[in-house]
Amino acid sequence: MFFVAITFFRAHNEVLSKLMINSIRKFFFFILFWVVGLCALFSQSVGVEDDQILALVNGVEIRKSYVLTELKKAGITKPDTQAIQNALVNLVQQEILYQEALKLELEKSKELFKAQEEFNRKALTELIVQKKIKGQPPSEGELRMRYAQLLKSLPKVEYKIRHIVLPTRRKALEILERLKKGENFSLLAMESLEKQTADRGGELGWQNSMSLVLSALSLIEKLKPGEVGGPILSSMGWEVIQLLAVRPLKVPSYEELKPQLMQQIEQENLKKYVQELIAASQVQIFPLNVSSSTP
């Protein structure tokens, strides 16, 4: 859907007229093409016997099915009275603009033909994806196999940790010794360079091997809950880390991950399909001619 804002400036009548016509032309050729696509969907919303006329615009009918189709496109399947009224007003405005565009003979404009060409290109691209990829969804067995592979790759446990980031190794060793002597971690965390966690006592929440850098993971695996260790060098500085707790990683069920697994496989199949098409095509890519006039 295209959203085009038409701004009216106060000026002399002649200048105002030119501005309005230019803006209207840009807007109307999208409206014209939109209406053509919409008409094909009108009859699918309700039965003919229930398809009452809700409005007339210069003799042109706007039926209940038109309104319901428009709402369905917006994801509203059970509209209330207000939603129907709003959609009806919108369709009336679009019909008025469409009729005005015909008066200006914008259906013959080059802009409309260009918009149709662009629309057709995008529509055909989406259609082939629907037919070749989404039209051949992965089987239940393939999805369950992918889920099993995912389970094998996931960490078995996760760690609740907190840290303090210091500018030098010497300062980090000093903080580590103070912690081992029993000083309050949350208070010392106020000295951390990592201000986002400093305000909450250095807590990083639950982390696992996929979210931790190797040096931090290696240190944490050697600690028992309550122990502190370090320092280790990270991109933020020298870190002192405390392990607070360990628990098994909660893994989403197959049903929870099924939509994501399906999308993942579809994307892989699409990539493979496109690569096959490229291999069977003659593609030439030329070096970009960069000039001073290039924006």
Q: Would you call 278 helix, strand, or coil by DSSP? A: helix
Mean pLDDT (whole number) for 25-46: 44
- Check: CB of residue 107 under 8 Å from CB of residue 25: no
Per-residue pLDDT for 138 more than 50?
yes
Closest CA to 185 of 198, 195, 170, 196: 198
Tens digits of residue pLDDT in 155-167: 999 999 999 999 9
- pLDDT beyond 50 at 10: no
Q: Give the model's pLDDT for residue 293.
A: 53
Angle at 242 between CA 237 and CA 245, to 5 degrees: 140
**Helical packing angle, 13-42 and 110-129, nearest 10°:** 30
Q: Mind listing the pLDDT tens digit for each residue in 245-285?
A: 999 998 889 999 999 999 999 999 889 989 998 899 988 88
pTM of the model: 0.50
**pLDDT of 233:** 94
The stretch 121-136 carries a mean pLDDT of 85
Mention every residue, 6+ apart, whose C-beta is less than 8 A from residue 168: 238
Let me know: does 197 contact 204? Beta carbons within 8 Å.
yes
Domain map (residue ranges) of the chain:
13-131, 154-248
Q: What is the per-residue pLDDT across 69-117, written as a single tens digit (0 to 9) for each?
A: 989 988 898 899 899 999 999 999 999 998 998 998 888 888 888 888 8
Instruction: Tell me the mean pLDDT in the region 10-25.
Output: 40
Q: How high is the pLDDT of residue 295?
A: 54
- In CATH, what class is 154-248? alpha beta
